Structure 1
Amino acid sequence: MPTTSVGVFKIATSGPGDVSGLMAMIGSGAIDPTSILAVLGKTEGNGGVNDFTREYAVAALCTALAPKLGLSPEAVEQRIAFVMSGGTEGVLSPHLTVFTRSAAERPAGLSGKRLGIGMAHTRDFLPEELGRSAQIAETAKAVKAAMADAGISDPADVHFVQIKCPLLTSERVEAANARGNKTATTSAYSSMAYSRGASALGVGVALGEIGPVVRDEDVMRRYDLFSNVASTSSGIELMHNVVIVLGNSASSASEFEIGHAVMDDAIDAAAVTSALKSVGLGATPQPGRTLVNIFAKAEASPDGTVRGFRHTMLEDTDISSTRHARAAVGGLIAGLSGTGAVYVSGGAEHQGPAGGGPVAVIARLP
């Protein structure tokens, strides 16, 4: 496997269409646009079916990068993996995390594994395949392909798998009905959860966290089946899954390292602390190490309680439970890390234990 150098850049944004920070870094030479592999962003929409800040952000980025790459905006979207997560409730701050990858030589004396990144796409799904075994199986294949692309062979070295997956619309449901097929749900909002859950189960299958056979009826029901490193986000702008694997690779000469832990619930501060410690950023950080970003999933406990006390996130008809969860987990992580510019995504179906979710940390090494 050729040696690669992976770069990570966190860039604040003033709105979903703000590309000025990225363009400034490209202009200064800090980022080579030809090396950009993936962009993960937090946008200040509602995170729901009609959150078009995600599509707006991707369109703005593709339009800005097109002349830098000599491509059309549509071709840029095919070349770079864009994952926009809507919803910056509470103290969460809108931002982009840009990942670059380029060929490099591993310096003499460099020890240990460093941050590696890989990307893969599934085929397009039919509406009736979302939230079902077809999506699970195709996602598992894409995860393995992304691992190979990242130079990672051991599943234990995978610390975060970010997936952008589709959702259902009324038109997509009708298209399935016209072929004589039924979708997993007819609700666009519920379909987001089904798609996220099936995608996460695909990660679990690929990494051996769960068995190879998962039935359609297990999705959104068997919450004992989950992945400890999956982070999935639904959007209206695509019909396939975009898979990004982040882990540590012996073929990487990166200045960065990634680690993770798993939150048991939305107030699991110990897990966040453990994730920080895993990359040398505990209460007494290792000299020279600095925090780059934190990536986490947030979920309202499906039994309606947190550590025995009732919560009302699932019964609030004014604000969706995913928005409540993002605000709660975002506040917790911001307080422990000292920044609200963290990537917290709502809806953690089959992503960590029910009511919890994975939390990954990237640190820059000295």
Structure 2
Amino acid sequence: MARETRIHRLSMSGPEDVSAILARIGRGEIAPAAIRAILGKTEGNGCVNDFTRGYAVASLKAALAPLVPPGALDRISMVMSGGTEGGLSPHWLVFEEIATDAPAGPPALAIGVARTRALAPAEIGRVAQAELVREATLEAMAEAGIADTAAVHYVQVKCPLLTAERVAHAGGPSAVATTSMIKSMGLSRGASALGIALALGEIEPQVLTDAAIGDDWSLWSGRASCSAGVELEDCEVAVLGLSDAWSGPLRIAHGVMADAIDAPAVADLLAGFDPAFRAQLSPAGRDRFVALLAKAEASTAGTIRGARHTMLDDSDISSTRHARGFVGGMLAGLTGTTELFVSGGAEHQGPDGGGPCAAIWREG
């Protein structure tokens, strides 16, 4: 018996709005027990104090708890990415795993999830975190039935960050990687990304040191998407790839944007399933389009193709917020939709100033 992934892209009016999910459950279009992961774009600031992420998770758990067996909620990966700057639209991506009698066909979209243990504050942003994410990525791959790392196209991680309370519990400033709470977000994302890179063979173990995290931008993964939040202490990992043990019409492919305006890298992905693609998905292409997941980051050089940008110089708005809105606008123009999972903060996720991008579509 094969497995099949189904994805539902649903709008939300706020981080507490799970009505679209419940409506589909009520119509029998989503089986609560089949849900493996829920990704959400929420409209907070995406920074340390973005409580829309925790609010969304709490709302999901409250809604689903009466509908699933005891303990099942802990097996659903709930990854909330804060920040819908510009024209990006808040939305949910609900992933189901369905058993099917369909005959085996071409490799189809597969999903596997795993969680690390809770991280000690001293481990956040360091090699210890990368090692834990490496192990969880391999575990999620095994669960998805993906043996070949080349068949992995996207790995989503939700990871913790440091707070003043966590620093105090660790024994003070000397015990942790940084005392800057917002910097800890970047270090945690970066350590998680490099853990994915280790698992997928994109970097060698000997090059990874605590000092390299958040500093050596030559080290990166082309398939990592990592988001940090105050609402958890462990790392949640969801692997998406292709496997011939899975059936169904969904497919996935990935590319890497070299910088924040690398539209051709994304256009190549879209043209892969929309032969009529020109400057934007055709009507037929939009019918087949399911989701686009991308990372966005302001280059540390302060330039984009030699021209100066000011994202790093703004003391009012975090550069991650600028980057999400900027890259999100470009991607919306290419896809013809604003319901895009664009995540800011791409430390070690793609080259400096660029970022990985994955497209999911429906064959046939």
With the shorter chain as reference, the TM-score category is: over 0.9
CA distance in 1 between partners of 2:200 and 2:293 (Å): 19
Task: State the Cα deviation string for residues 108-143 of structure 1 (Å, max 9, x = none).
Answer: xx5321000000111111101011110111111111
Query: Residue 244 of structure 1 aligns to a residue in which SS?
Result: strand
Question: 1:208 maps to what in 2?
Answer: 201
Question: 2:165 maps to what in 1?
Answer: 171
Question: 1:275 maps to what in 2?
Answer: 269
Question: 1:197 maps to what in 2?
Answer: 190
CA distance in 1 between partners of 2:313 and 2:134 (Å): 34
Query: Are the aligned partners of 1:136 and 1:202 in contact in 2 as well (CA < 8 Å)?
Result: yes
Question: 2:179 maps to what in 1?
Answer: 186
Task: State the Cα deviation string for residues 197-221 of structure 1 (Å, max 9, x = none).
Answer: 0000000000001102311111011
Q: Residue 305 in 1 paired to residue 303 in 2? A: yes
Alpha-carbon distance change, 279 to 131 in structure 1, aligned in 2, over 3 angstroms: farther
Alpha-carbon distance change, 286 to 312 in structure 1, aligned in 2, over 3 angstroms: closer
Question: 2:248 maps to what in 1?
Answer: 254
Shift of 1:69: 1.1
Query: Are the aligned partners of 1:281 and 1:290 in contact in 2 as well (CA < 8 Å)?
Result: no
Query: Residue 211 of structure 2 aligns to a residue in which SS?
Result: helix
CA distance in 1 between partners of 2:86 and 2:240 (Å): 27
Question: 2:320 maps to what in 1?
Answer: 322
Question: 1:296 maps to what in 2?
Answer: 294
CA distance in 2 between partners of 1:28 and 1:186 (Å): 49
Query: Are the aligned partners of 1:279 and 1:361 in contact in 2 as well (CA < 8 Å)?
Result: no
Which of residues 96, 100, 106 in structure 2 aligns to 1:104?
A: 100
Q: Residue 240 in 1 paired to residue 234 in 2? A: yes
Question: 1:80 maps to what in 2?
Answer: 76
Query: Are the aligned partners of 2:65 and 2:73 in contact in 1 as well (CA < 8 Å)?
Result: no
Which of residues 265, 282, 287 in structure 1 aligns to 2:259?
A: 265
- Extract unaligned runs of 5+ from structure 2: none
Q: Residue 348 in 1 paired to residue 346 in 2? A: yes
CA distance in 2 between partners of 1:183 and 1:67 (Å): 40
TM value normalised by structure 2? 0.95
CA distance in 1 between partners of 2:142 and 2:276 (Å): 31
Shift of 1:315: 0.4
Shift of 1:254: 2.3
Query: What letter corresponds to residue 328 of structure 1 in structure 2?
Result: F
Q: Residue 68 in 1 paired to residue 50 in 2? A: no
Query: Are the aligned partners of 2:33 and 2:69 in contact in 1 as well (CA < 8 Å)?
Result: no
CA distance in 2 between partners of 1:93 and 1:301 (Å): 24
Query: Are the aligned partners of 1:40 and 1:82 in contact in 2 as well (CA < 8 Å)?
Result: yes
Q: Residue 95 in 1 paired to residue 87 in 2? A: no
Query: What letter corresponds to residue 269 of structure 2 in structure 1?
Result: A
Alpha-carbon distance change, 223 to 281 in structure 1, aligned in 2, over 3 angstroms: farther
CA distance in 2 between partners of 1:111 and 1:278 (Å): 19
Identity of aligned residues (%): 52
Query: Residue 352 of structure 2 aligns to a residue in which SS?
Result: coil
Query: Are the aligned partners of 2:64 and 2:73 in contact in 1 as well (CA < 8 Å)?
Result: no
Query: Residue 218 of structure 1 aligns to a residue in which SS?
Result: coil
| Number of aligned residues | 359
CA distance in 2 between partners of 1:280 and 1:249 (Å): 22
Question: 2:41 maps to what in 1?
Answer: 42
